[in-house]
Structure 1
Amino acid sequence: RATRRPLNRGLWGEQRVADPTRIRALAPLPETADEARAVAAALGGGRIFLREETRESKVKSIDLSLYRNVLFATHGAMASDFVDFGEPALVMTPPAVASELDDGLLSANEIASLRLNADWVLLSACNTAAADGTPGAEGLSGLAKSFFHAGARNLLVSHWAVVSESTVLITTGAFRELAAQPQHGRIRALHKAVVQVMNDERYRHPVFWAPFVLVGEGR
């Protein structure tokens, strides 16, 4: 079972540019491709970006305002112990050579600069509800705040490291429930998906299903 674990202190280095070699050393998450396809199928179609199409520079160039539902299924990077070293980020496909435009990490500040018009953004990664890393910062002040600033109305975020297998079941299950009974809304769809995972004897421990929370408009 692969964990979409957060990265730790020191990834950015002195210039706040990530080392692509360290990003490439992360455990691969091949199941995320199936996760994206299953979510798109539940929605009746959609655009899927995989591998080279998920480079940071590519993501920044996409007009994400065209999409009402957006899924990022990847590793999550928390802010390091000292804010000078970096900020929360989502891991993208790393480049051969890092630059400020593309170092393999879509940081909180870069996310805030995106243009979204999404009813729901799902951050299928670790610790996406975490703080921005500044002393005394509150939860949801990192990636979540950035996505709201960019134009997301609702987010699915996680409070700790997530296990990839159960994460796939939760995100895909939530969209299938929402497609089947849209009148019940996102929160009931997520609840049903979580209950289904809880009832599977392989995933009864809270580590598998409890980290996720829906935040946003609540409509």
Structure 2
Amino acid sequence: YEFYIDLLMELHEREPGKGHDLGAFEASERARARSLLELLTEARIDVTAGIAPELKERERAVHARIAGIQSQLLRAYSQAKPNSAEIAALEEALKRADEERVQIELEIRRKHPRYAALQYPAPIGVREIQGRLDEQTALLEYVLGPENAFLFVVTREGFQAIRLGATAEIRERVEKLRAAIAQGPLRTAYGNYVVNARRLYQQLVQPAEKWLAGKRSLIIVPDGSLYYLPFEVLLTTGELMPEDPRRLPYLVRTYAVSYVPSASVWAGLSRPELRRPEKTLLAYADAVYGEAGPESAVGRAFSSAFGELKKLPPLPFSRREVQGIAALYSREEVTLHLGAEAREENVKGESLDRYRFVHFAAHGLLNENAPQYSGLVLTLPSALRDAREDGVLQVYEVFNLKLNAELVVLSACETGLGKQLRGEGLIGLTRAFFYAGAEAVLVSLWKVADVSTAELMVRFYRHLKAGRGKAEALRQARLELLEQGRFVHPFYWAPFVLVGKS
């Protein structure tokens, strides 16, 4: 798909107005749908059972042939003097192969509808997205290809496809910005933060500025390393560096931001509520952590994500965090599982679909190298006498939960990143909660500070209770923390992103 998107954008720039840009957007949506199928496979959900081997082989062969032709076309177009006869022959071969792919897809849809629904989900079209957007919202979908990056801008009024430049430079700046933020309020890191936050705004958002006039909300569809970039920390102007970080022109001052894995997922989340949850808040906090055995699920996750790390630190402020949130609601609206009771058995045994908000103040492992091991670490068996579970609520288990929640909050996640920031761990965990029935997931992008998180979360829920939308409630809580002065650095107010319906 990356080659195909690159090819279509090349054609769009050569032949504007022919619909190649719309084709590139649809290809981006198809690629994101494929990642869900791969996730389901890794999560041990068998969607191919019962399909004739001959049909599977035909499907595999035509996909391989299309990929080969697309690679040849890209090479042909990149020549100093493209050979028009060669290009015409390759385009004809691609057309024939694609027609064969469509026929195989139709046969699979007819014979195996369950597999087809996952393998070939119908991507949402631009017009349908435009019909769902309000006048104050824009959707920005990014593609980080092997060499080039692209941006699709969708508003109620129009659609634009934009070439952004080199993927490698964007990826490098994201890593530098994250490194500067991770150092916290150190003056030595301040300059690096400002430089990279401004440059990334210029690369990622400024090319779309003319179409964002009058907008108040952004829906970001990230790709690759952009999954780990909170766009709210980007700086919208290039003024001189102020002494007081509170005066910086953060993007959060202008827009309420939410994130989605794809436009099609976003559209699917806009479903009518089946029934209103009976209760408001279910929360798990202050889990008891001990040694993790190497053969346990958490041991495997540690060995993949954190090397030799064997013990998780306690989260004492997580108890205060959920108690502060619970105090906003009447006692009968709330269920808390604290300490040793914050255990996996009390997740699987709870009637989760009775709650509007489900809040986990527990360690999370977002594992890039082995996404199937991503999950939430609750009270470990070594701290219990009657443990029946391994203490880690993993992606494949989340798929089997039954939720009816407006929001799931993962308030103490740590990211166990591989050598590259690709986004698989975050995609896996958030999509699993979507599949289970959550409309949105609030998740952190770096190891968070206990005290500031507790304060941010209480402010966030207070704004939710006042009737604000989820993205705007998070924006207001961030601005309050920023203006207060105690937690002015983005390290404290920016780690959480809202993924899903805003």
- The alignment's TM-score, normalised by the length of structure 2, stands at 0.36
Question: Which residue pairs with 1:69 in the alignment?
Answer: 357
Amino acid at match of 2:457: T
SS across alignment from 2:373: coil
CA distance in 2, matches of 1:78, 1:145: 13
Deviates more, 1:118-127 or 1:96-105: 96-105
Answer yes or no: is the 8 Å Cα contact 1:132–1:141 preserved in 2.
Answer: no
Q: Once the 2 structures are TM-superposed, how far is the Cα of residue 44 of structure 1 from its aligned partner?
A: 3.1
1:24-75 alpha-carbon deviations (Å, 9 max, x no partner)? 8322112111211121222334011111221112221111111111110011
Distance 1:136 1:154, change over 3 A: closer
CA distance in 1, matches of 2:422, 2:311: 31
Question: Which residue pairs with 1:17 in the alignment?
Answer: 297
CA distance in 2, matches of 1:24, 1:49: 24
CA distance in 1, matches of 2:417, 2:382: 30
SS across alignment from 1:76: strand
1:124 paired to 2:414: no
Answer yes or no: is the 8 Å Cα contact 2:366–2:426 preserved in 1.
Answer: no
CA distance in 1, matches of 2:363, 2:296: 18
Q: Once the 2 structures are TM-superposed, how far is the Cα of residue 23 of structure 1 from its aligned partner?
A: 9.1
Q: Once the 2 structures are TM-superposed, how far is the Cα of residue 148 of structure 1 from its aligned partner?
A: 0.7
CA distance in 2, matches of 1:132, 1:44: 43
1:150 paired to 2:430: no
Q: Which 5+ residue runs of structure 1 have no aligned equivalent? A: 1-10
Q: If you compute each CA radius of gyration, which structure gives the higher value, 1 or 2?
A: 2
CA distance in 1, matches of 2:320, 2:383: 29
Counterpart pick for 2:495 among 187, 211, 214: 211
1:54 paired to 2:354: no
Counterpart pick for 1:32 among 307, 318, 335: 318
CA distance in 2, matches of 1:204, 1:125: 20
Question: Which residue pairs with 1:79 in the alignment?
Answer: 367
Counterpart pick for 1:109 among 396, 399, 409: 396
Distance 1:93 1:138, change over 3 A: closer
Answer yes or no: is the 8 Å Cα contact 1:95–1:104 preserved in 2.
Answer: yes
CA distance in 2, matches of 1:38, 1:72: 14
Answer yes or no: is the 8 Å Cα contact 1:92–1:105 preserved in 2.
Answer: yes
Amino acid at match of 1:147: F
Distance 1:39 1:94, change over 3 A: same
Q: Once the 2 structures are TM-superposed, how far is the Cα of residue 12 of structure 1 from its aligned partner?
A: 7.5
Answer yes or no: is the 8 Å Cα contact 2:443–2:498 preserved in 1.
Answer: yes
SS across alignment from 2:401: coil
SS across alignment from 2:478: helix
Q: Which 5+ residue runs of structure 2 have no aligned equivalent? A: 1-291, 300-307
Q: Once the 2 structures are TM-superposed, how far is the Cα of residue 202 of structure 1 from its aligned partner?
A: 2.7
Answer yes or no: is the 8 Å Cα contact 2:298–2:377 preserved in 1.
Answer: no
How many residue pairs end up in the alignment? 200
Higher helix share: 2
Q: Once the 2 structures are TM-superposed, how far is the Cα of residue 149 of structure 1 from its aligned partner?
A: 0.9
CA distance in 1, matches of 2:318, 2:389: 22
CA distance in 1, matches of 2:340, 2:486: 33
Amino acid at match of 2:451: E
CA distance in 2, matches of 1:63, 1:146: 18
SS across alignment from 2:390: coil
Identity %: 37
Q: CA RMSD in A?
A: 3.2
Answer yes or no: is the 8 Å Cα contact 2:340–2:383 preserved in 1.
Answer: no
SS across alignment from 1:43: coil
Answer yes or no: is the 8 Å Cα contact 1:80–1:87 preserved in 2.
Answer: no
CA distance in 1, matches of 2:480, 2:381: 38
Amino acid at match of 1:18: V
Distance 1:37 1:78, change over 3 A: same
CA distance in 2, matches of 1:114, 1:23: 29
SS across alignment from 2:359: strand
Q: Once the 2 structures are TM-superposed, how far is the Cα of residue 94 of structure 1 from its aligned partner?
A: 0.7
Question: Which residue pairs with 2:31 in the alignment?
Answer: none
Amino acid at match of 1:112: F
1:144-172 alpha-carbon deviations (Å, 9 max, x no partner)? 11111111011111122211111111111
- The alignment's TM-score, normalised by the length of structure 1, stands at 0.78
SS across alignment from 1:155: strand
1:166-215 alpha-carbon deviations (Å, 9 max, x no partner)? 11111111111222x21x32222111111111123331111111111112
Answer yes or no: is the 8 Å Cα contact 2:353–2:403 preserved in 1.
Answer: yes
CA distance in 2, matches of 1:65, 1:123: 17
